[in-house]
Amino acid sequence: MDLKPSKLGTKDYWQDFYKVEIRNFQENPSDTGECWFDDSGAQDQIVRYVADTFAGQDVEVLDLGTGNGRLLFGLRDEDVEGKFLGIDYVATSVELAQQVADAEGYDVEFQQVDFLKSSAWTDRRFDIVLDKGTLDAIALSVSSDDKTGPQLLRN
């Protein structure tokens, strides 16, 4: 399958996107950012499934391409217990997620990591690995020297 490259597959797009989100949050702390796929209820479905499936368990959760961290915050709001790590390759994403976590008192760890190019985060084991759109962005990469998207599609 041939996908057409998109700006959604560029780091610059996301860096700029989260700069605006940070500014919005700083001006209005109730504006914690865009909830991707909210119109389909994706986040609520994921949160409900994880909360029901792992009720009463202490779980290690990894959120790939965490963005503003809202998925992990949703799990905390539903009293899912354990250690949560959100990673994203965009510095401004991690900055926003950490600002929201600090402001709202969420116990969540965030790191700037390009999980396709770094193994720094792989020394941990996770019970749950979440992705709510990161694979889409990878597949839409516009970089001609980045063969990651097509390779992932083949696999």
What are the residue ranges spanned by the domains of the chain?
7-154
CATH code reported for the domain at 7-154: 3.40.50.150
* Alpha helices in the chain, H assignment, sequence order: 11-27, 42-53, 70-77, 91-104, 134-139, 148-154
For the whole model, what pTM was predicted? 0.76
Give dist(CA 133, CA 9) in Å, integer. Answer: 11
Res. 1: pLDDT tops 80: no
Nearest C-alpha neighbor of 106 from the set 130, 84, 91: 84
For residue range 15-35, list pLDDT tens digits in order: 888 899 999 999 988 877 675
Res. 126: pLDDT tops 70: yes
Give dist(CA 33, CA 79) in Å, integer. Answer: 22
Question: What's the confidence (pLDDT) of residue 154?
Answer: 42
